[in-house]
Amino acid sequence: MDRTAAAAPPPLRVGLIGYGLAGSVFHAPLIATTEGLTLDTVVTANPDRRAQVHAEHGSDMRTLATADELFARADGLDLVVVASPNRTHVTLARRALEAGLPVVVDKPLAGTSAEAQQLASLAAERGLLLSTFHNRRWDNDFRTVRSLVADGALGDRIHRFESRYERWRPELKGGWRESGDPAEVGGLLYDLGSHLVDQALTLFGPATAVYAETDVLRPGAQADDDAFVALTHANGVRSHLWMSAVAAQLGPRLRVLGSAAAYVKDGLDPQEAALREGARPTPGERWGVEPEIAWGTLGDLDARRPVPTLDGDYPAYYAGIVTALREGTPPPVTAHEAVATIRVLEAARISAAESRVVTTDLA
């Protein structure tokens, strides 16, 4: 008898709310392939998506039409993942915590920092895990930059961190992400900007000043589809962040300027595309691998060399959730970090509306 296998605890049962882009492409595949987790229940009212759940995760996968049905059987779950539209994040996360369940919420955690802080306080009071799915910390390019900064490869000081998520989508797709209703928490500032700000804060710490520009450029658009955010960090580093749906030619994904060298990287991490195509991480096999032709370069005007891109590692997020739940360690993204990101996004919105630099306590 395998004593190790016999001693292994049963997998944690996960209830997933939402099976749109976030739920079907990111959360469900990663949950299903993470050791220590099992996808127990998926909530979606859409019949086509329920059929998709069964096609992708087996005909015996439990599907429910409403979150009420999920919370009615809270005793049968160990974790709730909220991957529904942004307007529902706060309500569903609060219900999970009040039901005594740890919760992972897709980004952004909330539309306001006040709501996010209320959730963080509730989780702390109840001794429950609350984490936000800032998976882009495990993009291959960001992991590489983080390593270069930590190793001092760019010099003893970073002057400027430039980061972009740009797209060419001149036609509207419709849906809540493009809605001008503030309750929907749509627009690129809170969508792609959540990732960009989280990455900048993760690398360089709290921001002390925020300047932003946002625009609504596409015909018929209601929500911001082009934005720029400049952060001044407490340590003096400046982060310049771009997000756009109207970039007919894309800028560098990353450009980091240091006192001794610069790192420049084009292209996007391959993990999202792989997940969309049905690929799944497999234990013991490489994942998020990038070909040499896509590597970034490190150096100056006189000499540059290609830098092997570290593999992307989205599976690390849910592996960290398992460790946090089993051992009581902090989750891979803490509630405090999620709140800090939203404070910066709020400051950016004020800056853009009032054409001024916002300097407040953003930690």
Residue 202 has pLDDT above 90, yes or no: yes
Is the Cα dihedral 74, 129, 13, 202 positive or negative? positive
Question: Mean pLDDT, to the nearest integer, of 208-237?
Answer: 95
**Number of residues that this document lists for the chain:** 363
pLDDT of residue 7: 75
Question: Which of the four CATH numbers 3.40.50.720, 1.10.287.1770, 1.20.120.160, 2.60.40.1180 does domain 3-135+318-330 have?
Answer: 3.40.50.720
Run of H or E residues at 198: helix 188-204
Radius of gyration of the chain (CA): 21
CB atoms within 10 A of CB 246: 16
Q: What is the pLDDT of residues 89-123, one digit of tens each?
A: 999 999 999 999 999 999 999 999 999 999 999 99
| Fold of the domain spanning 140-312+343-354 | Dihydrodipicolinate Reductase; domain 2 (3.30.360)
d(CA 170, CA 151): 40
Mean pLDDT of the chain: 95
Question: Mean pLDDT, to the nearest integer, of 334-338?
Answer: 97
Sequence spans of domains, the chain: 3-135+318-330, 140-312+343-354
Q: Say which amino acid occupies 124.
A: A
Q: How confident is the model at residue 140 (pLDDT cuts 50, 70, 90)?
A: very high
Question: Are 81 and 103 a contacting pair, CB within 8 Å?
Answer: yes
d(CA 161, CA 345): 17
The whole model's pTM is what?
Answer: 0.94
Q: How confident is the model at residue 305 (pLDDT cuts 50, 70, 90)?
A: very high
Which of 260, 295, 296 shows the shortest CA–CA distance to 153?
Answer: 260
173 Cβ partners below 8 Å, 6+ apart? Answer: none
pLDDT of residue 185: 86
Residue 2 has pLDDT above 60, yes or no: no
Which of 34, 167, 99, 90 shows the shortest CA–CA distance to 338?
Answer: 90
β strands within the chain, DSSP E: 12-17, 37-43, 62-64, 79-82, 103-106, 130-133, 158-166, 207-215, 226-233, 238-244, 254-258, 262-265, 296-299, 304-307
pLDDT of residue 335: 97
Q: How confident is the model at residue 239 (pLDDT cuts 50, 70, 90)?
A: very high
Residue 1 has pLDDT above 50, yes or no: no
Which of 92, 108, 110 shows the shortest CA–CA distance to 15?
Answer: 92
